[in-house]
Amino acid sequence: MTGNALQLVTFLMNSDRTKLWDLKEHKERRSLNANSYFHVLCDKLRQYNGVTMARQKNELIAAYGQLEYMDGEQVVIKSQIPPEKMLDQEHLHLKFITYKNDGYFYRVCRGSHTYDTSEMAKLIDGTVEECRAAGIETLPPRELERLKQAWGKLKAKEESTTAERAPMQSAR
């Protein structure tokens, strides 16, 4: 049951007094954020293209996402696994480069949850364009812009929270 305090008290006073009840504050469902919207669109494209969610995500992140760097260098991996199988991996976001010397080479891409506002905007914009080309309905431009701006605020909040915790963790 959802109601204000008076409604809940009235309901409880008229209920079986031997029953136990859990009470929690009602909160509106969390609004869609940019990363979850990316996944919603990704799922629609996956269905349209007849591929797995992992493959669709990998294709979009490879096309519009951000490469992974380590010590200023792009992270590249060599594998014996061909793109037909490798691009269906959920735990890695890869962009196929080439096949040579008996191996397949891939660039590693960062997961979308790590993106800043401009990086996420590029991923969302590219994904939206692919959806529109496929005839898949997307949010109106104003709502898309709101999602992208909210993503920037969320990322800034996460970064400040992480920075605040860092001195406490190093003091241990």
Residue 163 lies in a domain: no
Residues in Cβ contact with 25 at an 8 Å cutoff, skipping those fewer than 6 apart: none
Residue 157 lies in a domain: no
Domain that holds residue 90: 34-136
Residue 153 lies in a domain: no
Domain count along the chain: 1
Helix (H, G, I), strand (E, B) or coil at 112: helix
Residue 88 lies in a domain: yes
Q: What is the pLDDT of residues 21-80, one digit of tens each?
A: 777 665 444 345 888 889 999 999 999 999 999 999 999 999 999 999 999 999 999 999
Residue 11 lies in a domain: no
Residue 144 lies in a domain: no
Residue 132 lies in a domain: yes
Q: What is the pLDDT of residues 73-132, one digit of tens each?
A: 999 999 999 999 999 988 899 999 999 989 999 999 999 888 888 898 899 999 999 999
